[in-house]
Amino acid sequence: MQSTEMGNLAREFAVVEMSGDKAEEKAFVVGFARRFTDVLQIEGREPDDWEVHQILAMAGALNAGMTRLAATCLGQAMADPETCVPELRQATGLATRRQLEDVIYGCG
């Protein structure tokens, strides 16, 4: 079940329009990605495998200048676990919250 904090963040993210300016879009995505890891910390948990994959894909897309793809990946990271295949939402320790924070800060 998705926490109230993650659900609120996902809903806020979903209604924002991308500006078309690559620098603004990148800052927008990085800002929300940082908030995503803040929510993980509030929830007192490490990211599950789905979240790790999506955040790493987001970082790769940002580094390639593909801000809209990065936004899509970030949106997928915030997806309600109830809407995903359960096997994808397991936490096997692929990466820690701190490691994801390092990746995200490297993008900004």
pLDDT digits (tens, 9 = 90+) for 13-66: 988 888 888 999 999 999 999 999 999 999 999 999 999 999 999 999 999 999
Instruction: Tell me if residue 2 falls in helix, strand or coil.
Output: coil
Query: Nearest-5° angle of CA 28, CA 92, CA 42?
Result: 45
C-alpha 93/C-alpha 90 separation (Å) is 9
Q: Is the pTM of this model over 0.85?
A: yes
The pLDDT of residue 85 is 77
Domain boundaries, the chain: 22-107
C-alpha 2/C-alpha 74 separation (Å) is 15
